[in-house]
Structure 1
């Protein structure tokens, strides 16, 4: 029995097939079960065969559970994320070890992280015959370890930083792709190249290698900020996923250097292919949220607080300090269907059109022009990060007023959004949390404004 999480030692075709194929098809099994539980037919879900794990949050694709299923989808999403990361780890480890046996390039371990390339890579590695191992011995670990180690580490860090800048610029500015390529494959390749160069002159252990990889990642983030390619907010959110992939790459790169296998350097060539595939098959996930608040005011007071919303003076939450957009006030011009609403946010003003207008009962509007999802914290006024525009958008918002016999009005806010980032399993919890935080801020303000108006209108004793 082999350890599927280990990167050490070559494995043959049969062993590889017995492990890699079940892990690959397990993703489809998990996706099918999740879709079946949520009443979603695979035949109605176009991208299932390319991205099966997206059905883990398919509650917004099928109507069975509707908005109430948001409470069900969060554990599904987090569980799916853990499953995806385990699958990435094991497939990368198994593919690298099979490449050792076939004397193939280590770049295949990077390619197998991309869902669209997983099955072709696995099938190729199942049939490629073994080759005779090189007669070259492993590097001598006692050879001027400190001096050579520092030299290799410096080379690895410089190369890793340069490759990070090139990969982000190519993916974001040329292909406009924010997915597996930029958040998983690129960090994996950067970690692999860094680990390879750091171990080329003198071998380091995995802990020492990944210490260099993480330092490279830190300085690469600083370089992205200095070159105005990214801001602090996005870097903080992407860091855990990128660090995971870079760690795996560092292990692969270190092992390749100790075996004097230079083929890993060719993994750089697979990145443009991944970016191009993601540009051709862009992610698109629609999800909805629902929140309810009880307001001690009549429906007409609540309605007035919605259509003539005052400036929200509540202190902003912690996530807003890193640039995430938050609501400031809302203004409706005109009455009835077709009226315009202007939603002021910290990052700009959204223009919305009213599609349902039932006085004191329901207000629904669709977004005509959305605002940037965040304002990147950066020393520069303008950051060249396309993801702040269009990669997370609000499609529709509705307020429903439900009067109760005790004089309290229940206000239900429902919103619909589109997320165009991958892995969606990673980004969806962030998106939900940001939406829920902003919606709760709006509801608390409407409650405070309506109740204050109700008290002011009450006759004096």
Structure 2
């Protein structure tokens, strides 16, 4: 180990040096963050905070505090990011793996796979382009896989898909954890293993590796449906995230395919098996608080606020939806009922899957109706070949906490009607799933607002 390893882009280091530097830098970074949080920012800090999607926001408290101290955290993190990328490039060069894999060092969850991969693959002296593809070594575990292109592809797709279904069943149904490990780590691992298995006995072209990676994650999706782990709607929602990650995993697996190397391949395959259970388990232990999100939608009504108010508090049965989203199974509102008037009254917004129970908190007629939410129905009715399924995410993983209707008087006897929902969803990456949940809630808002508009304008 040399100090120059931390800035020398042109060097090459072994796996032991890489692992030691990784442990040392991680320990230094943890202690530096602990010092900054506790003695400079006067905030809490915990090792498991690194697993939170929006670290360091929860630890710093308010967004204002984050804006105030964010630059200090960035300055403190940059040297470690630099050193991590430099060390990874040197390790990849030593292992004769593509240097572009260092990009994965900045990808959440995937970087742990990369770290394990780089820590396990031994030094390789001869570049793959100059080394003839060897046959599997006697006694090698890879010799059990077929040598033919079709047989190898079938084995790669089948085995990796089966492993994916099993890990997903444990993560979703047993651990009930819909985090980075499940939605980022699992697809990456699926593509990685498929490409590794396909390249076990013969060197495969990149197009072949990517094909088996895509097929493996697709067959795994069908397995989720077959074994009643998930329904078709959620599988379809996950495809835009899972498929690219599987292809990235396929690229990584293609670079490390066993037929190209005589040493190190079993260690590479072990990386996926070691990283995923560790990630899923640690995520389950981490107390990751979901962010409070808000969706606002508005519409202008050709009626005065007093008339609009009557149809906001309670409204009649809505017509059948025409939007494909609701016809596909997403829950949608049917009617609204209320018991009592004023603060403390209980409003029920009845959806196709059950009622939202909404105790009134602010009754400012005809301007503002604000309510909490004490009960949430399931967000959808899953498409499944079975009578019904009950994946854990249908209960509490997408939960509304409060809502309001704001009526603003406009010139000409018109009203701007604005609906807002505050909610949390416990699925990561938050940014990806928020795109879906925000759009769904916005469509629900528009369905209600347009119905209220029609009722109010009709008198």
**Retained in 2: the 8 A contact 1:397–1:415?**
yes
Tell me the residue number matched to 1:68: none
TM-score (structure 2 length as normaliser) = 0.73
Q: 2:266 aligned with 1:262, yes or no?
A: yes
SS in 1 for 2:172: helix
Q: C-alpha displacement at 1:207, in angstroms? A: 1.1
Tell me the residue number matched to 2:386: 380
**Separation in 2, partners of 1:193, 1:165:** 13
SS in 2 for 1:284: coil
The ranges of structure 1 where at least 4 consecutive aligned residues each deviate by more than 3 angstroms after the TM superposition are 41-49, 51-58, 61-64, 91-97, 108-126, 128-138
Listed as ranges, the matches of 1:109-188 within 5 Å are 115=108, 118=111, 131=123, 133=125, 137-139=131-133, 148-188=148-188
Q: 2:281 aligned with 1:276, yes or no?
A: yes
Deviation per CA, 1:305-334: give whole Å up to 9, x if none.
112211111523222233222212111111
Tell me the residue number matched to 2:328: 322
Tell me the residue number matched to 1:438: 444
**Retained in 2: the 8 A contact 1:113–1:180?**
no
CA RMSD of aligned residues (A): 4.2
Deviation per CA, 1:412-442: give whole Å up to 9, x if none.
2121111211111211111111111111111
**Separation in 2, partners of 1:201, 1:158:** 17
Residue segments in structure 2 that go unaligned for 5+ positions in a row: 1-9, 30-39, 65-83, 136-145
Alpha carbons of structure 1 residues 42 and 327: separation in structure 2 relative to 1, 3 Å:
farther
Tell me the residue number matched to 1:349: 355
**Separation in 2, partners of 1:217, 1:410:** 47
Instruction: From 300, 303, 307, give the equivalent of 1:301.
Output: 307
Residue segments in structure 1 that go unaligned for 5+ positions in a row: 1-9, 29-40, 65-90, 455-461
Deviates more, 1:299-308 or 1:224-233: 299-308
SS in 2 for 1:368: coil
**Retained in 1: the 8 A contact 2:194–2:250?**
yes
Alpha carbons of structure 1 residues 442 and 63: separation in structure 2 relative to 1, 3 Å:
farther
**Separation in 2, partners of 1:329, 1:203:** 61
Instruction: From 94, 98, 109, give the equivalent of 1:101.
Output: 94
**Retained in 2: the 8 A contact 1:391–1:419?**
yes
Deviation per CA, 1:248-268: give whole Å up to 9, x if none.
111222222222412232121
**Separation in 2, partners of 1:252, 1:438:** 41
Instruction: From 367, 370, 375, give the equivalent of 1:364.
Output: 370
**Retained in 2: the 8 A contact 1:50–1:115?**
no
**Separation in 1, partners of 2:117, 2:152:** 33
Alpha carbons of structure 1 residues 313 and 365: separation in structure 2 relative to 1, 3 Å:
same
**Retained in 1: the 8 A contact 2:373–2:402?**
yes
Tell me the residue number matched to 1:196: 196
Alpha carbons of structure 1 residues 319 and 338: separation in structure 2 relative to 1, 3 Å:
same
**Separation in 2, partners of 1:387, 1:43:** 36
SS in 2 for 1:356: strand
SS in 1 for 2:222: helix
Q: C-alpha displacement at 1:177, in angstroms? A: 0.9
Deviation per CA, 1:60-103: give whole Å up to 9, x if none.
x8578xxxxxxxxxxxxxxxxxxxxxxxxxx9999598357369
Alpha carbons of structure 1 residues 389 and 110: separation in structure 2 relative to 1, 3 Å:
farther
**Retained in 1: the 8 A contact 2:53–2:430?**
no
Deviates more, 1:49-58 or 1:302-311: 49-58
Q: 2:254 aligned with 1:249, yes or no?
A: no
TM-score (structure 1 length as normaliser) = 0.73
Alpha carbons of structure 1 residues 44 and 448: separation in structure 2 relative to 1, 3 Å:
farther
SS in 2 for 1:432: helix
**Separation in 1, partners of 2:121, 2:261:** 20
**Retained in 2: the 8 A contact 1:164–1:186?**
yes
Work out the number of aligned pairs and report it. Answer: 390
Deviation per CA, 1:159-202: give whole Å up to 9, x if none.
11211111111111121111111111111111111111111122
**Separation in 1, partners of 2:132, 2:305:** 77
